[in-house]
Chains A and B, each alone.
Chain A
């Protein structure tokens, strides 16, 4: 109950806080949603840099498979003897790169940061429903990260069965070096991570449904909140399924059960396991795995909606359609997992069902893409770095989404499955799109997080290097995939039909290196601006949502006095008749008589009568 007392104190005493915060309670074991958001973000950024460096390492191997780089041995020791990355380590690199990016960066780093930051702020709450559980959520995530990184320091190396950890490779510790202790650490890390996500998600849903301020009905919630809400629901329903899959895997690995294993001979030894089905794992895994894609992309869509509307100075186009699309994506995300398994020998009729549900997802996704474009159309666009990243997000979502139509088609997928075409598809549609959504959020809400502005020039540099870099890296991969080049192969020189792609690999690797260097601009900007950035004003983007009504200085409780009441939806930008091009959500209609339209009152006869009388008195023609 301490949260309530804290909230009460903050509400009535402002900065004269009664409870004395120590360094430990303020910065380390904080229960304040704003601090926890920053902890998630900074941990997410560190994990992103780490995972990106891993990708540069395997890109070097792919571009120059016959060349030695003695410096690699200096850093990687036995994993790069003679300056060449070992095949086992190559597999570890792609595995951990995928795991970290999908789960630690784009799930925890994105949802954890912005759900924590924006849910209480934008719905008008002093904190989360359970600040303590919120703190636990971060620390479980942090420990998960530490364990995953620790797996680089065990003798047999990190997990290397791919981020999807399919058995039998992941289930037989003796199969390859990465299936040993590294895999065990992977499983422990992910179990902690799931606990973190469930605790966080429960808190997000409960806060949104129970803690909204007066006047904040569901249809007045910003799209950011809708997206965090639905993301948390998807997570709550799908992450526990992965726990079940992982529990069975752990028993297969360490106790000798046969849930997933059957008829195996490993290094000349016949294994005793019989009767298991690796396909069972795939079903359980993808029941989480596919919704996970939407866990990653929906928050990015929400952030983008807010940033595009604010910086187009226009209401978001089709607010209700945007919400229904998110709901549609949420529901459909649970009935499409089979499209990852078209080539497992699945009954073609069942494959057909999964194909149809998969292709239907294109509908709500397209609604969103068109609505973004319609919002931009004839807007008074301000190309802030956040806006550029938001537009970039839409670009990737469209160009990566289009190839989803190919892959969702079972007949085509039989050819394209496990090729670079898949790598290109998901890196654009969920990788780059979500990273861009996340970066757009960082640039936009940085003033709210740190009270300072980021450098715009460095932001532009960062955007262009990353945007062009990402396209140069992933676009050529489509052609490799169509040519049948499989993913996860160690050296293209080993296969004559792949040799012709080495020159493309060199281009891709150089693009990756340049885009990687582009992130230095971001890191300098992000960390430098915490201390040296220009001081932010209360509402630097002239935005409507409630977080911009809080003071620049942070304190636990968010608003010094009463929490503002909400009177309108969050997208009243450039409303005709108003003297400014934005009207914050807490401004009552009685203060904006010159811009009110009758449908603002949603059938409230009394309010309409008052407005009509005012219009008549002031010679204003109100639309009937």
Chain B
């Protein structure tokens, strides 16, 4: 009995540490984007011919709606997991994944619109190249996020033990919400500089 308690205490401690590690990882990821932001500011301030010099495509607004909605569905999915409602969890996760893919496609669409306006990635005004760098690196993270969501989904399909399922969902949700907030940061940053 005592051994079992010890084991559970140890398990909880390790989980707490892993969750904490995730938060640290998010700080690291944010630093990458913070560096790009400061790079953008330094570069753009270096001449009057620099800067985004266009209005950002509406596709970015639509993608923002998609990712905010996906955050809501992810949150509901986590709640369902906590309540032990596997069916609801699975369907909400699926909706989140689809919204994640919609976000991805809309961002690519925004790239297409920019290219049509003659704003290419290969550009002697690198402020405009920065749009692609910000969104592209964020999309790379979105791919990772979708893989994490798929892993949560597989956990719910198998299904794995309840507490582990909730733990996995919890970490997945934190990561996914972070990607949402990160996008909002990037978008607001670009809007302020357009």
User: Which positions in A face B, CB cutoff 8 Å?
Assistant: 1, 3-4, 7-8, 11-12, 126, 129-130, 133, 198, 201-203, 205-207, 209-211, 236-241, 243-245, 247-248, 251, 255-259, 272-277, 280, 283-284, 287
Bound state CA distance, A576 and B15, in angstroms? Answer: 43
A-contact bits for B117-154, CB 8 A (1 contact / 0 none): 00001111110010001000100000000000000000
The answer, among B21, B34, B43, for a CB contact under 8 Å with A202, is B21
- Rounded to whole Å, the gap between the CB of B156 and the closest CB of chain A is 17
Q: Are B20 and A209 in contact (CB under 8 A)?
A: yes
Majority secondary structure, A binding face: helix
Interface residues on chain B, size class? 35 or more
* Identity of the chain A residue whose Cβ is nearest the Cβ of B33 in the assembled complex: A244
Q: Are A202 and B18 in contact (CB under 8 A)?
A: no
Which of chain B's residues have a CB closer than 8 A to the CB of A239?
28
Bound state CA distance, A238 and B34, in angstroms? Answer: 11
Interface 9-residue window, one of B2-10, B57-65, B179-187 = B2-10
Which of chain A's residues have a CB closer than 8 A to the CB of B28?
198, 202, 236-237, 239-240
B 38-63 contacts with A by CB, 8 A: 38-39, 42-43, 46-47, 49-50
Which of chain A's residues have a CB closer than 8 A to the CB of B17?
129-130, 206-207, 209-211
- Rounded to whole Å, the gap between the CB of A129 and the closest CB of chain B is 3
Bound state CA distance, A257 and B34, in angstroms? Answer: 20
Q: Are A284 and B43 in contact (CB under 8 A)?
A: no
Q: Are B35 and A284 in contact (CB under 8 A)?
A: yes
- Rounded to whole Å, the gap between the CB of A438 and the closest CB of chain B is 25
- Rounded to whole Å, the gap between the CB of B175 and the closest CB of chain A is 14
Q: A206-B20, A248-B133, A259-B43 are in contact. Are A7 and B10 (CB under 8 A)?
A: yes
User: Which positions in B face A, CB cutoff 8 Å?
Assistant: 3, 6-7, 10-11, 13-14, 16-18, 20-21, 24-25, 27-29, 31-36, 38-39, 42-43, 46-47, 49-50, 121-126, 129, 133, 137, 164
The answer, among B7, B38, B126, B133, for a CB contact under 8 Å with A258, is B126
Q: Are A210 and B25 in contact (CB under 8 A)?
A: no
Bound state CA distance, A3 and B10, in angstroms? Answer: 10
Q: Are A259 and B32 in contact (CB under 8 A)?
A: no
Bound state CA distance, A12 and B2, in angstroms? Answer: 11
Bound state CA distance, A251 and B132, in angstroms? Answer: 11
Q: Apart from A1-B14, A287-B35, what are 5 other A-B pairs with CB-CB below 8 Å? A: A130-B21, A206-B24, A237-B31, A241-B32, A276-B126
Q: Are A244 and B20 in contact (CB under 8 A)?
A: no
The answer, among A7, A258, A284, for a CB contact under 8 Å with B39, is A284
Which of chain B's residues have a CB closer than 8 A to the CB of A241?
31-32, 34-35
Which of chain A's residues have a CB closer than 8 A to the CB of B124?
258, 272-275
Which of chain B's residues have a CB closer than 8 A to the CB of A203?
21
Q: Are B32 and A202 in contact (CB under 8 A)?
A: no
Q: Are B21 and A11 in contact (CB under 8 A)?
A: no
Q: A7-B10, A236-B27, A240-B31 are in contact. Are A129 and B164 (CB under 8 A)?
A: no
Which of chain A's residues have a CB closer than 8 A to the CB of B133?
247-248, 251
Bound state CA distance, A3 and B38, in angstroms? Answer: 40
